[in-house]
Structure 1
Amino acid sequence: MNDEQLLRYSRHLLLDDLGVEGQERILAGHALVVGAGGLGSPVAYYLATAGVGRLTLVDHDEVDLTNLQRQIIHDMSRLGRPKAESAATTIAAINPDVRVRPVVRRADEALLSELVAEADVVLDCTDNFATRQAINRACVQHRKPLVAGAAIRFDGQVSVYDTRQPQAPCYACVFPPDQQVDEVRCATMGVFAPLVGIIGTVQAAEALKLLAGVGSSLAGRLQMLDARSMEWSEIRIGRHAGCSVCAAWRETPHLVTTS
């Protein structure tokens, strides 16, 4: 680290669990953030301020006035601009040392496989079930930890799915891809603005811990927040031996592709 970085990240360096070595791992890290909206905004903000070396931001959508109630990485001057590019502009103003790659494309299977393979940690900040499953499949295939969050109305949830741990579930172990899901979107159901900030900040914290190699992650634990009463609850979650996504990959490690 240079003198400016020692000053910028000094409050991290004072933490015994993190220190210089942990901060250097963050600086060398590469995070893939899928979704630059309500959850992606605080995620990208905190990863950037903490000094994550590379950020890849994927979002095919454009900034709309209705987004600004909660998507704090965008502003009025960016209306109509691609969200990924808008977020990259904000990050550059906060921490120009972070190398940001905005990807203005829909996150399909081929793109996700390519981008996940390059990343050290993946953050799911999307709002639809099919994309969540596609992200999970890519993370399982490439053995990359997935930090997944969700928020709708006053309800949020967050967990880490890290199949590098033998007993940790993947996302599909907990939410099978063939289950019937009623898609709920902010556009029709609404969302409490600070809720996405709370969940997104937890996602950023989990990603930073994974990159720095400190603490213990939420792998195997699903945390849920009821923002009406501001009460957290937690359930233990385990791998499903018959999971249609991760079972085969666990049994045939020679097929796993790593970056």
Structure 2
Amino acid sequence: MPPQPVAAPVSAPVEPGPALTGPERARYARQLALPGFGETAQRRLRAARVAVVGAGGLGSPVISYLAAAGVGALVVVDDDVVEASNLQRQVLHGVEDLGRAKADSAARAVHRLDPGVVVEPVRERLTDANADRLLAGCDLVVDGADNFATRYAVADACARLGLPEVFGSVLRFDAQVGVFWPGRGATYRDVFPAPPPAGSVASCAEAGVLGALCGVVGSVMAVEAVKVLTGTGRPLVDRLLVLDALTMSWRAVRVRAAQEGAAPAPAPAPAPEPEEPLPADAVVAPRELARLLAAGEVLLVDVRTPAERELAALPGAVPVPLAQVLDGTADLPRDRPVVLHCRSGARSELAVRALRARGRADAAHLDGGLLAWAAQVDPSLPVA
């Protein structure tokens, strides 16, 4: 079979920087030898400024490989600190980094790899209010966030600023990777117009994630970032790459930009009015719940996923899918009050609000979820 033609390169968003030094040529020799890459592409990388949102499971390989590839400046945006449960997949951090800000830990790791890479650690959560400020002056944004609010804030800012965005997500054994580029292809909101209802999608902490899958997906994201920055090959613009790690099958899904004339990305909106707090009788403290359970006075309902319950469960808890509680199809006994629980209290609060809105005045939820239960009642409960 004759060799297949290489896809026409896209125009790069970065102008080449200064000529490479001798040590730089030695360091990047394997990349310089790539057909169609060469010194010009390497100089583009050295001149590039990339924002990586999230220094966790996806951010770890992205930051490592972009620094190793020779990206000149990295802005690492993350407001979290390193915890023991992170180390299973967030390989940028180590035991010595426990309690340290992830942005600072990432900067230390990059400095060990290449002191010549400029790293700006930003210990803030990216929001609609600060996104434009944090991303200003960047050539590309890599979205490795772990929540929908941040994802949409990143996407809307990239649409306003005209920045290419490399997107990735992982959950359990599944993953997605794509490149969103306003003006050249689909944007994040073209594919995902609005976030899902709060609590309807489990987080990695709740549903689990295969650690090595973060490395696979983060590496693909780094490859796409390098391709965009250097104008090499055909990036995943207008395509979403979907991975099922259990069968190790990849498939590319075509996506399309909204029609011309569609409304532009929304400007930052004011924060919504906070929801009315639950009445006192709708919230049960862990020690009070322990007393009620011992007396047999309440029915305990677990709205977490089956995978979460396999890791840790409270004795006697009845599993009921959150979706059934929210849509009213859950058949909950009425012979005694019900107390709902999840991992942190966020999903069970949604559930109790739904039940009370339908007249179930005896419904309550465990304040702080299993995390609070483990802290105040049973420290042996595995909830990390």
TM-score by length of 1: 0.91
Task: Give the drift of 1:111.
Answer: 2.3
Contact 1:172 1:243 in 2 (8 A): no
Contact 1:172 1:245 in 2 (8 A): no
Distance 1:77 1:229 in 2: 36
Task: Give the drift of 1:240.
Answer: 2.0
1:235 aligns with 2:253: yes
1:56-205, aligned counterparts within 5 Å? 56-165=75-184, 168-177=185-194, 179-180=196-197, 182-205=200-223
Q: Which secondary structure does the structure 2 equivalent of 1:16 belong to?
A: coil
> What is residue 255 of structure 1 aligned with on the other side?
none
Contact 1:137 1:245 in 2 (8 A): no
> What is residue 11 of structure 1 aligned with on the other side?
30
Task: Give the drift of 1:16.
Answer: 1.9
1:20 aligns with 2:28: no
- Say if 1:29 and 1:180 are closer, same or farther in 2 by CA, change over 3 A: same
CA displacement, residues 219-240 of structure 1 (integer Å, 9 cap, x when unaligned): 1000100000100011100012
Distance 1:132 1:202 in 2: 18
Aligned AA for 2:245?
Answer: A
The count of corresponding residues between Structure 1 and Structure 2 is 246
CA displacement, residues 162-216 of structure 1 (integer Å, 9 cap, x when unaligned): 0131xx1110111012554623211110000111111111111111111111111
Distance 1:74 1:239 in 2: 37
1:210 aligns with 2:231: no
> What is residue 53 of structure 1 aligned with on the other side?
72
Task: Give the drift of 1:127.
Answer: 1.3
Q: Which secondary structure does the structure 2 equivalent of 1:110 belong to?
A: coil
Q: Kindly indicate which of the two structures has a greater share of residues assigned to helix.
A: 1
TM-score by length of 2: 0.62
Contact 2:127 2:149 in 1 (8 A): no
Distance 1:13 1:190 in 2: 39
- Say if 1:194 and 1:25 are closer, same or farther in 2 by CA, change over 3 A: same
Higher relative contact order (CA 8 A, sep 6+): 1
Does 110-119 or 139-148 show the bigger shift? Answer: 110-119
Aligned AA for 2:92?
Answer: I
Q: Which secondary structure does the structure 2 equivalent of 1:24 belong to?
A: helix
Distance 1:178 1:70 in 2: 25
Structural RMSD (CA): 1.6
Contact 1:170 1:246 in 2 (8 A): no
Does 29-38 or 9-18 show the bigger shift? Answer: 9-18
Contact 1:128 1:183 in 2 (8 A): no
Task: Give the drift of 1:129.
Answer: 1.2
Distance 1:192 1:208 in 2: 25
Identity of aligned residues (%): 43
Structure 2 stretches of 5 or more lacking a match? 1-19, 268-384
- Say if 1:186 and 1:23 are closer, same or farther in 2 by CA, change over 3 A: same
